[in-house]
Chains A and B, each alone.
Chain A
């Protein structure tokens, strides 16, 4: 089956160094990150530690520091960095002509915990 991509609109909606949220009815909320060097990533918006909303953390390099207890999570892999262990699912994302697209299957496929 061909992949379907959800169009989330223009990249200008998210300032570099920030993230935006995408609630999914019946599923997990997703956080879309825009790093300081202009890259975009999407992750389930739940810290592997105690479900902190990663979208609200400080973004630096290609990681985000969780606002609740400062775990550092890689935006590329969703893995906890440093000494911590855990992983949050990542969502395939692409940018085309200045718009953000997420892989639909992955967006709706995240079961709410």
Chain B
């Protein structure tokens, strides 16, 4: 075709605008131009898809069966006709010739242009694994993809979605509704990690699992496995295989820049454009997902609308300029409300406001910086998402709304009374319910306070308000303020600033509510930070480990470095290694193995410790597994000189050698150590066994000490030699070694189940009283047996030498470097 199709000699010759890409941005740009100046251009649109422009984001509801294609069409065939737009559909542009100012389509059509607009959108990213080209592997980008998924769903069977982001989860939801058995494979530990924090990601995962989907996080795909010329399964790097009749790749998108690149236009990640959407060639513009503007590429529609306005303003000579967009995301899965906007990573330089309502499954988090909202994550109740997003985009100062902000627009803007939480509580009637869990009214709480409960804790134990899930803590605190004013007593200290609960409550609630994972505790108990802090995380990890032996999976990232690497960090960043020497005994083989390690790894020092064993200093973290492979070969295990766990059992020579010895103190020490090593505890735990009251092993300043006497064994508890020396209290006297071991196991378990994290036996005993401890152990004649049985049960899972596994290669990532950088020019140095 040589002449413009709508040549009309009566009006000045229009310029020809050729658009590549009949998608959301391309068509919108044309609409915006038409709105400003209908006469300006003759428009030709090329579209690779054989159809009119439709609302791509609604493909998810089409897949889910909630909408039909006709319902999501944006520009009908009539629209193109009415506006004299020629649509060349089903014919992709193959080539741009900027010198001749023409484009060439796949079918060979050559179209000249005055202005060219590239709106090619994005291409789905395909992870380069074997099997990616097999029939049955689909992406999720256009209607053809949806049709392929629907055809597969008709056959039923297994669908695997690779990618747990927005697209992947929407695909999974649709396929699941269509009756397929869906597994989502996600590389990261958190679903939608780009939009959600860990807390919200965890809630989302729970809900999807409840709906019957299998969600595998931290799962890396190795291969798509073939079966009869079609996909059959997906194999993960860890060896697991998930059967699949269809595999949907939804791992991300890449701006479609091929055409622009081969046409010689400047591209980085996307096609480079200025604020007027002009590329490096003044006659070529670009909009949509294919562009890169001020370093940013977008994957959502909102920015496109703004780009299209700037583009049309520029083309019709009223330049306005696009300045980039802040985006917000919603997940389109019916019944699940998720909203996220802005930057919500910054907990520290910003300020977090977190609200959790476990009963309703709600998690809300706002991130403030300089009194402005910079990020928001909402789960379960997204009603105020738009309001927050609006405040965020306008960068409005929210100081005045601060108090009520997290409760939403209605509350925060509700005027005087409501904006002050105390006033709002004062306005409640006496029979208004304060604590939903325990059905406590305002009247009862006030009565309880007037009856002498002057602290949050006292109210909790007095009338149970706020004692369960804690979501009414704020209300109870207000009532305390209103009733007592300045006389409110600060409660028992909370675990840390992340929670209003103390250690005891957290431990109790973990059991009562059967909480089994750190994010679950944080959600159910209304943590005020998204992922805790360096003090509550290790504590929670311990409490869960103690509560659910064998079931709870230790969280390495919540462990202090020494417990993570199973060695003691030193001031220079190297580590010291202390192998166990049972009861202080050693052998020539062990000493030889230690000597060999010292020489082989160039350890700078060996020292006899105060705990009757040898400490090897100056080992580098990358050498630790090898050191332990050598020590392990000699039969030695980790001494836990680093852990909140059993440290050493000191012994004296006892009956066998000593002229005063009354019992086999060395032998008992070895047995005690073999029984209890590896156990995680609230704090470190040391034992000693002395063969007579001369007490050479210093048993009376140990957490558990045994002093042997002629008639049997005196068992002592709660001693401490460190910062504040405390001599033990006598717990009881027993006649046999078996009883000594059994009582020891019971005492350790009582301590494990009751003490606060980082509380040694000495302060614990002083807090609880020796009488309380005796009562727990001896009032019920069966108590010792039951406690000891629980200890032994838990030890089944604890007594694995961490070093055997590390030496065999487990968690190599913790010990190795990513790489080593050798600066250029130093290669030969």
Listed in ascending order, the chain A residues whose CB lies under 8 Å from chain B are: 6, 8-9, 11-18, 20-27, 30, 32, 35-39, 50-53, 56-63, 65, 67-68, 70, 72, 74, 76-77, 81, 96-98, 100, 107-108
Partner of B531, one of A22, A57, A61: A61
Q: Does B387 belong to the interface (CB within 8 Å)?
A: no
Given contacts A12-B187, A22-B818, A63-B347, contact A36 B531 (CB under 8 A): yes
Determine the distance from Cα of A74 to Cα of B345 in the docked complex, in whole angstroms.
Answer: 12
CB distance from B541 to the nearest CB of A (A): 10
A37–B569 contact, CB under 8 A? no
Determine the distance from Cα of A59 to Cα of B819 in the docked complex, in whole angstroms.
Answer: 21
B190–A67 contact, CB under 8 A? no
B569–A20 contact, CB under 8 A? no
Q: Which 3 residue pairs across A and B have the least CB separation, nearest first?
A: A61-B347, A17-B557, A38-B193
Determine the distance from Cα of A35 to Cα of B559 in the docked complex, in whole angstroms.
Answer: 15
A61–B529 contact, CB under 8 A? yes
B561–A57 contact, CB under 8 A? yes
B348–A35 contact, CB under 8 A? no
Determine the distance from Cα of A13 to Cα of B562 in the docked complex, in whole angstroms.
Answer: 21
Determine the distance from Cα of A110 to Cα of B389 in the docked complex, in whole angstroms.
Answer: 40
Determine the distance from Cα of A50 to Cα of B661 in the docked complex, in whole angstroms.
Answer: 49
Given contacts A74-B348, A76-B346, A76-B349, contact A60 B531 (CB under 8 A): yes
Residue from the set A15, A36, A72, A107 with the largest chain B CB neighbour count within 10 Å = A36
Give the residue name and chain of the B residue nearest to A102 (CB).
B821
Q: Does B538 belong to the interface (CB within 8 Å)?
A: yes
A37–B561 contact, CB under 8 A? no
Taking CB atoms, residues of chain B closer than 8 Å to A20 are 813, 816-818
B818–A56 contact, CB under 8 A? no
B821–A18 contact, CB under 8 A? no
Give the residue name and chain of the B residue nearest to A23 (CB).
B820
Binary per-residue interface labels of chain B (534-557) against chain A in the complex, 1 for a CB within 8 Å, 0 otherwise: 100110000000000000000011
Taking CB atoms, residues of chain B closer than 8 Å to A74 are 348-349
Given contacts A74-B349, A76-B349, A108-B823, contact A67 B818 (CB under 8 A): no
Taking CB atoms, residues of chain A closer than 8 Å to B345 are 35, 37, 39, 61-62
- For chain B, the count of residues having a C-beta within 8 Å of the partner chain is 55
B813–A13 contact, CB under 8 A? yes
CB distance from A26 to the nearest CB of B (A): 6
CB distance from B294 to the nearest CB of A (A): 15
Q: Does B306 belong to the interface (CB within 8 Å)?
A: no
Give the residue name and chain of the A residue nearest to B194 (CB).
A38
B823–A58 contact, CB under 8 A? no
Taking CB atoms, residues of chain B closer than 8 Å to A12 are 187, 220
B819–A9 contact, CB under 8 A? yes
Give the residue name and chain of the B residue nearest to A69 (CB).
B571
A56–B534 contact, CB under 8 A? no
Partner of A61, one of B193, B348, B564, B621: B348
Taking CB atoms, residues of chain B closer than 8 Å to A63 are 347-348
A65–B821 contact, CB under 8 A? no
Binary per-residue interface labels of chain B (204-230) against chain A in the complex, 1 for a CB within 8 Å, 0 otherwise: 000000000000001010000000000
Taking CB atoms, residues of chain A closer than 8 Å to B816 are 20
A72–B557 contact, CB under 8 A? no
A32–B557 contact, CB under 8 A? no
CB distance from B296 to the nearest CB of A (A): 13
A77–B813 contact, CB under 8 A? no
Given contacts A23-B820, A36-B198, contact A58 B347 (CB under 8 A): no
Given contact pairs A26-B826, A61-B348, A68-B571, enumerate 18 new A-B contacts (beta carbons under 8 Å).
A8-B819, A13-B813, A15-B557, A16-B189, A17-B558, A18-B556, A20-B816, A22-B820, A25-B823, A37-B344, A52-B573, A56-B561, A60-B533, A61-B530, A62-B346, A63-B347, A67-B560, A72-B534
Partner of A37, one of B530, B534, B558: B530
Give the residue name and chain of the B residue nearest to A73 (CB).
B348
Listed in ascending order, the chain B residues whose CB lies under 8 Å from chain A are: 125, 187-190, 193-194, 196-198, 218, 220, 254, 269, 344-349, 352, 529-534, 537-538, 556-562, 564-565, 569, 571, 573, 621, 813-814, 816-824, 826, 829
**6 examples of A-B residue contacts, CB within 8 angstroms:** A15-B189, A15-B557, A16-B198, A24-B820, A26-B823, A100-B818
Taking CB atoms, residues of chain B closer than 8 Å to A57 are 534, 561
Taking CB atoms, residues of chain A closer than 8 Å to B189 are 15-17, 36
A58–B822 contact, CB under 8 A? no
Partner of B818, one of A8, A27, A53, A76: A8
Determine the distance from Cα of A17 to Cα of B534 in the docked complex, in whole angstroms.
Answer: 11
B534–A60 contact, CB under 8 A? yes
Taking CB atoms, residues of chain A closer than 8 Å to B534 are 57-58, 60, 65, 70, 72
A37–B190 contact, CB under 8 A? yes
Taking CB atoms, residues of chain A closer than 8 Å to B220 are 12
Taking CB atoms, residues of chain A closer than 8 Å to B569 are 53, 56, 67-68
Determine the distance from Cα of A67 to Cα of B562 in the docked complex, in whole angstroms.
Answer: 9
CB distance from A19 to the nearest CB of B (A): 10
Residue from the set A38, A70, A76, A108 with the largest chain B CB neighbour count within 10 Å = A38
Partner of A62, one of B347, B573, B821: B347
Residue from the set A6, A16, A57, A81 with the largest chain B CB neighbour count within 10 Å = A16
Taking CB atoms, residues of chain B closer than 8 Å to A100 are 818
B557–A18 contact, CB under 8 A? yes
Taking CB atoms, residues of chain B closer than 8 Å to A22 are 817-821
Partner of A59, one of B190, B346, B557, B829: B557
Taking CB atoms, residues of chain B closer than 8 Å to A13 are 813, 818
Determine the distance from Cα of A68 to Cα of B688 in the docked complex, in whole angstroms.
Answer: 29
CB distance from A101 to the nearest CB of B (A): 12
Given contacts A26-B826, A39-B345, A76-B346, contact A16 B821 (CB under 8 A): no
CB distance from A25 to the nearest CB of B (A): 5
Taking CB atoms, residues of chain B closer than 8 Å to A6 are 821
Residue from the set A11, A14, A98 with the largest chain B CB neighbour count within 10 Å = A98
Partner of A27, one of B556, B813, B821: B821
Taking CB atoms, residues of chain A closer than 8 Å to B193 are 16, 37-38
Residue from the set B198, B345, B621 with the largest chain A CB neighbour count within 10 Å = B345
Taking CB atoms, residues of chain A closer than 8 Å to B819 are 8-9, 22
CB distance from A3 to the nearest CB of B (A): 11
B530–A107 contact, CB under 8 A? no
